[in-house]
Structure 1
Amino acid sequence: MQRFACAVCSAPLFFENSRCLACRTQLGFHRGERAIAPLDDDGAYRDLEGQVLRRCVNLKLSGCTWLVREEGDECFSCNLTRTRPDDHDTTGLAQFLDAERSKRHLIYELDGLGLPIRDRTEDPDRGLAFDLLSSVEEKVVIGHQNGLITIDLAETVDSHREKMRARLEEPYRTMLGHFRHETGHYFEGTLVFSDAELTGRARDLFGDDRASYQDAIKRHYDEGAPEGWENDHISMYATMHPYEDFAETFAHYLHICDTVDTARNHGLASGPGPDTTEDFGTVVRETWIPLAVALNQVNRSMGANDLYPFVLPPAVVDKLDFVHKLRVRVGGTPVGSGTVPA
């Protein structure tokens, strides 16, 4: 996450700010410019291309500050949400606000990495979309199918998420992590499996994705992770099936890139970052491991658990490098030149 400053008074801003706390200027996020823009007294912003933009219609519903061309429209991020809780579900709507905040962070990062997002308008069958569902009255299963990602909004609740983390013996579980993992399935389908050479390389690294997924689920929950899994996988869940190995690796790639970028923007790290054209192992060795160790020690100083409770053996670094090279190869131009609509 980059550092933001108010264009009016230079006070520090944060990604979700709708108003500058120092000078009280109304604010909106411009996706194309990757900037938090000041709005005039009428709530409008004229961008670098001369377009007059206003804030997304969902400001009150989900805290969205992203700018749109027409008043009353939904922004790009909000348009990706296909289903949300009913208006009478006050619990679900409160959780929905937190989930949408994580989703906007995800889209911001994917844009910065240049990973292409096709929505259901561009690709009705496999475009990216989200069902953000309340489990207040029915069970919701988190998952992905042909670009459609389903999220259980109860995962925004700390007590629920911690209960699930302990039950599944996971060292780490966050709402943003869910979004990153499930989006990994989407990008494997659109970027890897659309290219025969990439598919072959992925199968060499992660295993044959044509293996029965249902059999893999049963084996994983009956027998657990195989002995010695730590040498080849980022997590126990990654051992279940090659699909999950890729998605877990993709999620950790985003974890690392985002944290490294944030640290570099705040002067906490100076090594190579996600923009490197070198092997991703260089980022891991020279930037990520020293930073992660320091952050873990800071957490321990506060009596908290490690921020990044994972080990990255050489086989996992090779998988991270595959995702990095995939992004560099097919990711296209990062959003931020002002040429992408708000």
Structure 2
Amino acid sequence: MRADMPQCDVASPARTMQRLFDSLTQQLGTAWKPTVLRPRRGHAYRCRCGRPVFFRNSLCLACHTELGFDPERGTLLPLVPGPFVSTWMEAAAATNGASADVPLYTRCANYDSAAGCNWLLPLAAPAAGRSPQLLCRACRLNRMIPNQAEEAGREAWAKIELAKRRLVAQLLALGLPVASKLSEDPQRGIAFDFLADQPGARVMTGHGGGIITLNIEEADDAVRERNRAELHEPYRTLLGHLRHEVGHYYWDRLVDGTPWLESFRTLFGDERASYSEALRRNYEQGPPHDWVDHYISGYASSHPWEDWAETWSHYLHITDTLETALGFGLDASDVELESEPFGADALETAFDPEATKFLAFISAWVELSALLNELSRSMGQPDLCPFVLSRTVVRKLHFVHRVVRGQGAG
């Protein structure tokens, strides 16, 4: 949900890294449908002892090696102590090279907090006139956090931060601009407020002017499930909330006022239609009966802004889940599914040089999501991926993909 209609200047992003989709589609081309069986790789992250370790880990439970996530390289590193107090070095680099040439890291200041942040910062001299950076790329985005004097606040913050770190890691890997509105880019940056309801004051989850607000009750599984059922939603998670709201931020940043806007209006509709009236109508009347043919969710049908945010969120879901599946060595030989693949008629434009890659990306997702749903059903659970991709939805996903790749260049 949007809190307002901020207008943002268009500027070239600080980052131009495009590695995630390139790497993902390269793997899909060689690993998703391999001509020969390849050895399983386990998870993409491994400790120096050879055991698999995971994104959230700060310690290997097998050999007790310290671990830390380097957001610039997008990888979890086994660590050894550095030459100075509270400094760390990558274990492999320290073993193979001269210690004087090995980069040094420090841990995020939130490592010892309830957030338990396992991200690293490169040890570097601060810029002239500035204090050294103590918070990592993800934690420096926080403007307000839950009350840490209360156990409930600490528990909520721990869950929220884990979801937010996964979000930020993906945004960086996609090469999207991620800068703190507080300390790096006051005009076009982003910040998060994680707030609790107060007597007479209800916190609304939403986005406005680069500030993403999340009601911390969403970190309570029971409350979130109650809200999901009351709103007749098939899917509601902390990570889903954050991906949706950050979609509003990137619409302001990458679409509004850029050459993408005309194509957006053709595909999603005119965002100048009354937003408040659209939401009122949605909550009173519900989505149109044929929404599944045109939207990724019923809520997406309420207004073009929400259609964009829901489609954006789904694009991030697809990208992260496919990357995880490939990291575990899963491939199409594990999936027995006959489906009609989407063709060029499902693309937003026929002039995309990556059209073939994108269609392979979507086809792999259709196969994987079918497998995930069958696994979930075998446990007696609802479908893990309760979404249907129509051709119109694929066309919108293609538009989101092109904006992410184009970085607002138009």
TM-score between the two structures when normalised by the length of structure 1? 0.89
The equivalent residue for 1:284 is 362
Q: CA deviation at 1:233?
A: 0.6
Q: CA deviation at 1:278?
A: 2.6
The equivalent residue for 1:52 is 104
Q: Judging changes above 3 Å, is the alpha-carbon distance between structure 1 residues 35 and 331 closer, same or farther for their aligned structure 2 residues? A: farther
CA distance in 1, matches of 2:112, 2:134: 13
Are the aligned partners of 1:141 and 1:152 in contact in 2 as well (CA < 8 Å)? yes
Are the aligned partners of 1:113 and 1:331 in contact in 2 as well (CA < 8 Å)? no
**CA deviation map 1:253-308 (0-9, x unaligned):** 0011111111111121359xxxx9335333222x0111111110001111111110
Residue 150 of structure 1 aligns to a residue in which SS? strand
Aligned amino acid, residue 378 of structure 2: S
Q: How does 1:1-342 map to 2 (within 5 A)?
A: 3-6=44-47, 8-41=48-81, 43-46=86-89, 50-61=102-113, 62-69=115-122, 73-120=134-181, 121-135=183-197, 139-195=202-258, 197-269=259-331, 277-278=354-355, 280-285=358-363, 287-330=364-407
Q: Higher Cα Rg: structure 1 or 2? A: 2
Q: Judging changes above 3 Å, is the alpha-carbon distance between structure 1 residues 25 and 105 closer, same or farther for their aligned structure 2 residues? A: same
The equivalent residue for 1:335 is none
Q: Judging changes above 3 Å, is the alpha-carbon distance between structure 1 residues 27 and 136 closer, same or farther for their aligned structure 2 residues? A: farther
Q: CA deviation at 1:90?
A: 2.0
Q: CA deviation at 1:136?
A: 6.8
**CA deviation map 1:11-55 (0-9, x unaligned):** 111111111111101111111122222332455323677432111
CA distance in 1, matches of 2:268, 2:408: 21
Are the aligned partners of 1:26 and 1:43 in contact in 2 as well (CA < 8 Å)? no
Aligned amino acid, residue 52 of structure 1: L
Aligned amino acid, residue 81 of structure 1: N
- 217-226 or 238-247, which deviates more: 217-226
Residue 28 of structure 1 aligns to a residue in which SS? strand
Instruction: Give the aligned CA root-mean-square deviation in angstroms.
Output: 2.2
TM-score between the two structures when normalised by the length of structure 2? 0.75
CA distance in 2, matches of 1:179, 1:187: 12
Residue 138 of structure 2 aligns to a residue in which SS? helix
Q: CA deviation at 1:194?
A: 3.6
Gap regions ≥5 residues in structure 1:
333-342
Q: Judging changes above 3 Å, is the alpha-carbon distance between structure 1 residues 60 and 72 closer, same or farther for their aligned structure 2 residues? A: farther
CA distance in 1, matches of 2:203, 2:267: 32
Q: Judging changes above 3 Å, is the alpha-carbon distance between structure 1 residues 136 and 105 closer, same or farther for their aligned structure 2 residues? A: farther
Number of residues paired by the alignment? Answer: 325
Gap regions ≥5 residues in structure 2:
1-19, 21-42, 94-100, 124-131, 334-352
**CA deviation map 1:119-165 (0-9, x unaligned):** 21343133111001123765211000011100111111111111000
